[in-house]
Structure 1
Amino acid sequence: MPLLKELHLSKNIFPFRPIVYGGDDLTFVCDGRVGLHLAAYYLQKFAEGKIKVCGKDKPVDACAGVAIVPTKFPFAQAYHFADTLCGLAKSRRRSQEDNSKGSWLDFQIIQEGVTQSITDLRTSQYRSLEGQKLTQRPYHISGSWDTFTAILQQFQSQRWPRSRAKGLLQVLTQGPTATERFVKGTQWRNVVLPDVSGIDDNAKTSGWTGGASANQITPYFDPLEALDFYLEGLLPTASGAEGSENKKRDKE
Structure 2
Amino acid sequence: MKLSAVLIDTVSIQEYIFLSNKLKENIGASFLVKKIYEDILKEALKVTFSRDIDIKEWENDPTNIKINQDSEEVEIGYIGGGNALVLFKDKYKTTEFIKNYTKLLLVKVPGLKTAFGIIHDFDLDNFKNSMKNLHENLRENKNKYSPNVTLPKYGFTLDCPRTNESAENFEDPERAESFNEQDAKIKYISSVAWTKLKFSDKAKDEMIDKINDILNDKYTLTNDIEKLGQQEGKDYIAVVHIDGNKMGERFSKCESLSEYRKLSIGVRNATEKTFKKMIEILIKQIKKNKAFDLKNGEFKLSTENGKIILPIRPIVLGGDDITFISDGRLGIWLAEIFIKEFANHSINNEPLSVCGGVSIVKTKYPFYRAYKLAEGLIDKAKKESRKKEGSYIDFFISSSGWSGSLDGIINKHLSTVNGNLHFGPYRVDKTNEEKSLENLKYIVKEFKNIPKNKIMKLREILFEDKDNAKIYVKELKAKGVKLPQIKGMYYHEHIWQNKETPYFDAIELIDFYPEGLL
Normalised by the length of structure 2, the TM-score is: 0.40
Please state if 1:135 is matched with 2:422. Answer: yes
Tell whether the 8 Å contact from 1:169 to 1:225 is kept in structure 2 after alignment: no
**Partner of residue 87, structure 1:** 379
Please state if 1:179 is matched with 2:469. Answer: yes
Aligned-residue offset at 1:83: 1.3
Rg (Cα) greater in structure: 2
**Partner of residue 126, structure 1:** 414
Residue correspondence of structure 1 range 169-208 to structure 2 within 5 A: 169-196=459-486, 198-200=487-489, 202-208=490-496
289, 293, 298: which one pairs with 1:6? 298
Aligned-residue offset at 1:187: 1.0
Alignment partner of 1:19: what SS?
strand
224, 230, 239: which one pairs with 2:513? 230
Aligned-residue offset at 1:115: 2.3
Aligned-residue offset at 1:231: 0.7
Aligned equivalents of 1:133, 1:153: Cα separation in 2: 23
Query: Unpaired segments of 5 or more residues in structure 2?
Result: 1-288, 431-435
Tell whether the 8 Å contact from 2:485 to 2:491 is kept in structure 1 after alignment: no
Question: In terms of mean alpha carbon deviation, does 29-38 or 105-114 score higher?
Answer: 105-114
Tell whether the 8 Å contact from 2:418 to 2:496 is kept in structure 1 after alignment: no
494, 497, 506: which one pairs with 1:209? 497
Deviations 1:198-251 (A, max 9, x none): 352x212221223xxxxx3212121112111111232xxxxxxxx3xxxxxxxx
Which has the larger share of helix? Answer: 2
Question: In terms of mean alpha carbon deviation, does 15-24 or 104-113 score higher?
Answer: 104-113
Tell whether the 8 Å contact from 1:154 to 1:194 is kept in structure 2 after alignment: yes
Runs of 4+ deviating beyond 3 Å: none
Aligned-residue offset at 1:65: 0.6
Deviations 1:37-87 (A, max 9, x none): 1111111111111111xxxx1111101110101110111111111112111
Tell whether the 8 Å contact from 2:415 to 2:421 is kept in structure 1 after alignment: yes
Aligned-residue offset at 1:112: 5.3
Q: Which amino acid aligns with 1:47?
A: A
Aligned-residue offset at 1:118: 0.4
Aligned-residue offset at 1:191: 0.7
Aligned equivalents of 1:9, 1:108: Cα separation in 2: 24
Please state if 1:36 is matched with 2:332. Answer: yes
Q: Which amino acid aligns with 2:324?
A: F
Query: Unpaired segments of 5 or more residues in structure 1?
Result: 211-215, 235-242, 244-252
Aligned-residue offset at 1:113: 4.3
Aligned-residue offset at 1:27: 0.5
Tell whether the 8 Å contact from 2:418 to 2:466 is kept in structure 1 after alignment: no
Please state if 1:47 is matched with 2:330. Answer: no
- State the superposition RMSD in angstroms: 1.6
**Partner of residue 273, structure 2:** none
Tell whether the 8 Å contact from 2:330 to 2:512 is kept in structure 1 after alignment: yes
394, 414, 417: which one pairs with 1:106? 394
Aligned equivalents of 1:47, 1:205: Cα separation in 2: 36
Q: Which amino acid aligns with 1:132?
A: G
Tell whether the 8 Å contact from 2:353 to 2:390 is kept in structure 1 after alignment: yes
Aligned equivalents of 1:85, 1:58: Cα separation in 2: 26
| Structure with larger RCO (C-alpha < 8 A, sep 6+) | 1
Aligned equivalents of 2:477, 2:395: Cα separation in 1: 31
| Aligned length in residues | 217
